[in-house]
């Protein structure tokens, strides 16, 4: 379960936004004269995605290249790059390209408190990024909780529903901390579901989070990732873009990045705690 670490990228959103805007233009002008839409094509930029955690490696860095609206949705991978990760203790790891655009570590091990530096050289251009791994925060437990959900009807009145939810419990360390929660249920996870929070109101306190709806037969795995501020900022802006209305919202932009020289994407280091709960009918019946 904790073998090779793969990074599944969230597709950059210019394709999504441009497609929706085109549809709006087509619908609103279908009974009028033809309008030629001039789409500006941005120059392709390298997209770097890499994440080191404190589980066993190897860890993965993926290199691809952004495209224009007229390109296919699958981003072309970047091969033949020099990819190096070093830490603040002097360990240097030259990554091996396992498949086109996918580079794997062989020496680096993720350890809380260490700072990791990434260097990528492609087509004689060098890109860099840095991330410090925060404290490992253990998930103390996963528990089932009976929750009352209230629904308000548009025509007036309300109704309520009882549901069983999975809650995650952990102790937040003192100091500023940033988190992402990943939920794997029924053998899969939604990698574009960015559940993010910081400890602005829970610094140093016991914390509980509602994670998922639970039914008998579910096997639910919860990963709690402790992020540095730059990685948190990338995920937060990416989440906001994914939920922005492309017609009525503001003009979309690329997510924040901690990479230099105009690269898109991110390079992060995080400590990760994992817990699994297998939900049975007996467990649900015991929940009060």
Q: Which residues contact 151 (CB under 8 A, 6 or more apart)?
A: 158, 159, 160, 161
Q: Give the pLDDT confidence score for residue 288 in this predicted structure.
A: 77
Instruction: Give the CA distances from residue 155 to residues 148, 158, 195, in Å, rounded to whole numbers and listed in that order.
Output: 21, 9, 32
- The span from the CA of 61 to the CA of 6, in Å, is 8
HSE-CB for 68 with a 13 A CA cutoff: 7
Residues 6+ apart with CB under 8 A from 3: 56
Torsions phi, psi for 125 (to 5 deg): -115, 135
Phi, psi of 61 (to 5 degrees): -120, 125
Angle (nearest 5°) at CA 157 between 152 and 163: 45
pLDDT at 192 (0 to 100) = 58
Q: Scan for tokens 């390298």, then name that residue.
A: 46
Q: What is the pTM of this model?
A: 0.76
The confidence score (pLDDT) of residue 187 equals 62
pLDDT score, position 44: 84
- Which residues of the chain, if any, have pLDDT below 70? 1-42, 67-73, 149-160, 187-192, 243-253
CA distances from 200 to 2, 14, 207, 235 (A): 31, 32, 12, 17
* Per-residue pLDDT, 4: 43
Residue 187: how many CA atoms within 13 Å on its side-chain side? 1
Peptide bond into 283 cis (omega under 30): no
Q: Give the model's pLDDT for residue 256.
A: 86
Distances (CA, A) of 150 to 143, 157, 217: 22, 11, 25
Report the distance separating Cα 256 and Cα 232, nearest Å. Answer: 9
pLDDT at res. 2: 43
Residues 6+ apart with CB under 8 A from 252: 13, 14, 17, 241, 244, 246
67-71: list long-range contacts, CB under 8 Å, 24+ apart: 68/39, 68/41, 68/42, 68/44, 69/14, 69/15, 69/18, 69/19, 69/39, 69/41, 70/39, 70/41
Neighbours of 15 (CB within 10 A): 17
């Amino acid at each position: 379960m904790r073998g090779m670490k793969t990074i599944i990228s969230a597709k950059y959103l210019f394709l999504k936004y441009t497609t929706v805007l085109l549809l709006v233009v087509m619908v609103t002008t279908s009974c009028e004269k033809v309008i030629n839409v001039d789409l500006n094509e941005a120059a392709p930029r390298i997209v770097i995605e890499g994440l080191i955690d404190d589980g066993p490696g190897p860890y993965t860095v993926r290199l691809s290249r952004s495209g224009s609206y007229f390109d296919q949705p699958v981003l072309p991978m970047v091969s033949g790059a020099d990819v190096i990760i070093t830490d603040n203790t002097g360990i240097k790891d030259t990554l091996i390209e396992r498949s086109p655009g996918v580079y794997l570590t062989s020496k680096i091990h993720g350890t809380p408190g260490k700072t990791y530096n990434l260097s990528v050289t492609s087509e004689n251009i060098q890109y860099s990024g840095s991330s410090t791994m925060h404290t490992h925060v253990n998930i103390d437990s996963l528990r089932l909780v009976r929750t009352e959900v209230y629904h308000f009807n548009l025509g007036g009145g309300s109704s309520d529903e009882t549901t069983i939810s999975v809650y995650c419990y952990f102790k937040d360390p003192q100091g500023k901390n940033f988190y992402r929660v990943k939920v794997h249920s029924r053998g899969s996870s939604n990698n574009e579901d960015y559940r993010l929070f910081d400890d602005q109101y829970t610094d140093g306190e016991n914390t509980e989070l509602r994670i998922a709806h639970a039914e008998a037969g579910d096997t639910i795995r919860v990963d709690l990732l402790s992020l540095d501020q730059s990685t948190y900022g990338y995920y937060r802006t990416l989440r906001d873009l994914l939920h922005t209305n492309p017609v009525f919202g503001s003009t979309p932009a690329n997510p924040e990045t901690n990479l230099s020289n105009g690269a898109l994407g991110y390079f992060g280091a995080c400590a990760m705690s994992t817990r699994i709960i297998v939900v049975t009918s007996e467990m649900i019946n015991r929940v009060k």
